[in-house]
Chains A and B, each alone.
Chain A
Amino acid sequence: MSAGGVAMPAGTGAASARRGGLMLAAGAVLLVAAIVAALAIGPIFIAPADILAILADAAHGIRPTEGIAMRDAVVVLDIRLPRTILTALVGATLAVAGAVLQGVFRNPLADPGLVGVSTGAAFAAVLWIVFGGMVGAFLPQAVLAFALPISAFLGSLISTVLLYSLATREGRTSVAMLLFAGIALGALAAAGTGLVIFVASDQQLREFTFWTLGSTGGASWFKIGIALPFFAALFVGSFWLARGLDALAIGEAEAFHLGVDTQWLKRLAIVLVAAGVGAAVAVAGVIGFVGLVVPHLLRLSAGPMHDRLLIGCALAGGALLLLSDIVARTVAVPAEVPIGVVTAIIGAPYFLYLVHRNRAALGG
């Protein structure tokens, strides 16, 4: 925030700048540590020094240096690296999407997983997988590759628009309506998902748990490739929205008085959230609570100004999902626990705590 050479004396602005900078540095360190841990930990432990050597060799396009087992190089590059990158991107996306959605609804409880945005994406993705073949033949190859994330994006968009129109009147969102409408939309979409999977043949769909509790186990460079444009749209676009979201936090009318076109801001934010969440669900299923816990912790530590908050969410969201994934794939070896189980164990008690704190607003 502060330009070079500007000393911030104790007092005005100093605390704001201080709480921002430190937390972002901590987030970056945490993310790097989580990436190294995710590459190192598994059925075979690979030392961080070896990981660095393998990555350096791969970056230079040469065969692994002597002393590094070929097997380790394959494990790191072909198995763990795509999964690590995908997990970090999905975590970052869910946290950033949560922060933006909470900004739009002016409510810290609006998690994409809780209010039906993710479930809407999953329903649309499942619909595409089962029925997409009927229209797929008429689509060009380039579009076909992206058809799954596009379907999930549309499902997510429809859920979010419905949620917004149900829960918001004249720019004011009722907390209770947001949660109730979100629960209803989520339940409806989940029922639709269950029905489609039940009538579909096994080949067309992987297991039901992928769509309800998520997994990054099927990570591949192809999956990263098809989801990345959607993630990038959210990351780039939301930093552009940051100042408007700050203004929106002090009120719909106030934001207008400050020169923010709030209708346009909210529409763009909803499209970007749907893009990010839709693509995340298409490649990793429905993973809850990341978008709730991360932004809330970051607001307390780095402050609610969205430029810093969103960067912090990207870093910490990636780190949190990587750590959850390590737990998910090591706690019940040789089986894997769905990653959404791990995030729910962390997130659900946190959600209860938040609800408890907001009980007055909820009428409890």
Chain B
Amino acid sequence: MLVARGVTVAIKGKTLLQDVDLSLSPGQVLAIVGPNGAGKSTLLKAMTGERKTTGGEIELDGRALWHWTTAALASRRAVLAQSTEVVFPFLVSEIVTLGIRRNLTAAEQYRLVQRALVAVDMSTMSDRVYGTLSGGEKQRVQLGRVLAQVWSHGCTYLMLDEPTSSLDLSHQLLILRLAREHALSGGGVLMILHDLNLASMAADEIVALKDGNRIASGAPVDVMTDDLIAALYGVRVQVRGVPDGPFLLPQTARLPG
């Protein structure tokens, strides 16, 4: 279990996150949604150990996060950050290799890199220089690197900050399928998504943040309501449903005022 209790993050008197609870279990896909500046990335960074909290506690598998060494954390959770700037001319396959545990044989490393590149649909571009790729391709390579870490270390938790932001429709669906596969194999997935339809499709639980506060959480069918969306974004829409879950059409939106 990855648990946040009453987490507060404040910088220079500005509160980014206020008393937020969150709990991620193996087998679960959890999506965090909310408007820009709601504190979604701050919460994710706090839960990875990257960002120090000013209050509350975060526990990974029953131990406070700060008890874990950096190396031990890397064998329990893998993280895809929002934007990654690579400074030197790495090849795609080299970036993915960085995710792999050190003490594997060259043959095992090679197989894992292959598998990760196939999983993110980048296997034909393994010899390309990373800097020459498009935004969506870069995002998939980074996810491939994260998957290589998950598979080589056996990480339980996968934490993704807007993994679909630069992707086309088919690759958005691919990422959601990878997230579900990870959960089915006993892992827990925490991801920030802006697209409410994707979140509703992919997640077992949705947590909605606004102004650093958790304002709703639960199954998509319970959270995705006209009122919540109005409260989150100030936009009135009509949420509809199909047997698989709720969805909304932006065409039905009415902006306030």
Q: Which residues of A contact B (CB under 8 A)?
A: 1-3, 5-6, 8, 11-16, 106-108, 243, 246-247, 249-251, 253-254, 256-261, 299-300, 303-305
- Residues on A with beta carbons closer than 8 Å to the beta carbon of B75: 259
Do B81 and A12 touch (CB < 8 A)?
A: no
Do A251 and B117 touch (CB < 8 A)?
A: no
Do B126 and A258 touch (CB < 8 A)?
A: no
B89-102 interface mask toward A, CB cutoff 8 Å, 1 = contact, 0 = none? 11101110111001
Do B70 and A261 touch (CB < 8 A)?
A: yes
* Number of chain B interface residues as a range: 35 or more
A246 to B70, CA, bound (A): 16
* Nearest CB in chain B: distance from A303 CB, A: 7
* Contact pick for B99, options A3, A8, A258, A303, CB 8 Å: A258
Q: Given A243-B102, A257-B81, A299-B88, answer yes or no on A12-B95 (Cβ-Cβ < 8 Å).
A: no
A24 to B75, CA, bound (A): 33
B168 contacts chain A at the CB level, 8 A cutoff: no
A156 to B84, CA, bound (A): 32
Within 8 A of A (CB), among B178-228: none
Nearest 5 A-B pairs (CB), nearest first?
A259-B74, A304-B88, A15-B127, A3-B106, A257-B79
Q: Given A251-B85, A258-B99, A259-B74, answer yes or no on A305-B94 (Cβ-Cβ < 8 Å).
A: yes
Do B95 and A256 touch (CB < 8 A)?
A: no
Q: Given A12-B93, A249-B87, A304-B88, answer yes or no on A258-B113 (Cβ-Cβ < 8 Å).
A: no
B123 contacts chain A at the CB level, 8 A cutoff: yes
Do B110 and A8 touch (CB < 8 A)?
A: yes
Residue of A8, A13, A299 contacting most chain B CB atoms (<10 Å): A13
* Nearest CB in chain A: distance from B140 CB, A: 15
Q: Which residues of B contact A (CB under 8 A)?
A: 45, 48-50, 69-75, 78-79, 81, 84-91, 93-95, 97-99, 102, 105-107, 110, 113-114, 117, 123, 126-127, 142, 145, 149
Residue of B87, B88, B98 contacting most chain A CB atoms (<10 Å): B88
Do A259 and B93 touch (CB < 8 A)?
A: no
Do B149 and A258 touch (CB < 8 A)?
A: yes
A15 to B129, CA, bound (A): 11
- Residues on A with beta carbons closer than 8 Å to the beta carbon of B73: 259
* Nearest CB in chain A: distance from B231 CB, A: 31
A254 to B161, CA, bound (A): 12
* Contact pick for B89, options A243, A258, A300, CB 8 Å: A300
Residue contacts A-B, CB under 8 angstroms, 23 given:
A1-B106, A11-B126, A12-B110, A12-B113, A13-B93, A13-B114, A16-B127, A108-B87, A247-B98, A249-B87, A250-B90, A250-B95, A250-B98, A251-B86, A253-B45, A254-B79, A258-B99, A261-B69, A300-B89, A303-B91, A304-B89, A304-B90, A305-B94
